Structure 1
């Protein structure tokens, strides 16, 4: 039964990113700084750690495509970024243990790689988008701090959900 709940949970996480961006404002964040929540990327990495690589890559591909359609003018950036990072994370989880600390570390590293990947693609297309120093100070650092906090909050509930889902998938 939880198998049918997974797409709805992922859609909720997908929607939560834009809702968070619109409704949550921190007093210590200036107008120049950008907080980009990557909750979907975090949950996809959790999925690759606690369920399997195939599910994470499929959901990464689908929701990356939706992400591209909603937020970017170029199709494929997030679609291949999400799926590729899920693949790399699943390979890392085969070598490392999947305890909460390692999963958070890999998830935050995936968010870092995603941010630099998207910045690289955007700077290739739009030459005057943002300087590298501006990117690091105004976007990268606030985004990473936000996503570290989100990973700390989300890892245990999603671990429980994904472990019970994995058990249900194994029983079928």
Structure 2
């Protein structure tokens, strides 16, 4: 049951970042700054902090592949990067207790790595001619700032869901 709730919430985030957020971002209003919403990546990272690296790998691959099918120009690019980010953020959960600060720092670092990996793969396959400096200033940095702020409500909802849906033992908690 709780897997279905998490999958539904991540699917909601995927639809949200592809529909509503596209109207309110600066590029829709003619700005040179392009913000790429990464709410699903934030959700996968936060889930992998609570559920471990295997869950991060599975959720990352599934939703990355779904993102590639719906929005991506190349099949498998987001699936690879999102599953790698989910797996390595799940490994961080073994080293640190998943508190709010660890979630925020891990999510920010993971979104940064994800965006840089996606841009590197776009450059590798010739899908963009933008140079690294321009991409970091006009795409990656603003996207990381917005997604770090947007990851806080995602963290709160997923933290509540993990606490609410975890199985209770018969002993006194």
- Report the TM-score, using the length of structure 1 for normalisation: 0.88
CA RMSD across the alignment: 2.2
Which is bigger in relative contact order (C-alpha 8 A, separation at least 6)?
A: 1
Aligned residues: 169
Q: Matches of residues 11-160 of structure 1 in structure 2 within 5 Å?
A: 11-25=11-25, 31-126=31-126, 129-160=129-160
Shift of 1:69: 1.2
Residue segments in structure 2 that go unaligned for 5+ positions in a row = none
- Report the TM-score, using the length of structure 2 for normalisation: 0.88
SS at match of 2:167: helix
Shift of 1:119: 0.6
C-alpha distance in structure 2 between counterparts of 1:159 and 1:63, whole Å:
20
C-alpha distance in structure 1 between counterparts of 2:168 and 2:68, whole Å:
30
1:104-145 per-position Cα deviation (integer Å, ceiling 9, x unaligned): 100110000001100101011117521111101110111011
Shift of 1:9: 1.3
Shift of 1:168: 3.0
How has the CA–CA distance of structure 1 residues 127 and 54 changed in structure 2, closer, same or farther, with 3 Å as cutoff? closer
Shift of 1:85: 0.9
Question: Is the 8 Å Cα contact of residues 45 and 89 (structure 1) preserved in structure 2?
Answer: yes
Residue segments in structure 1 that go unaligned for 5+ positions in a row = none
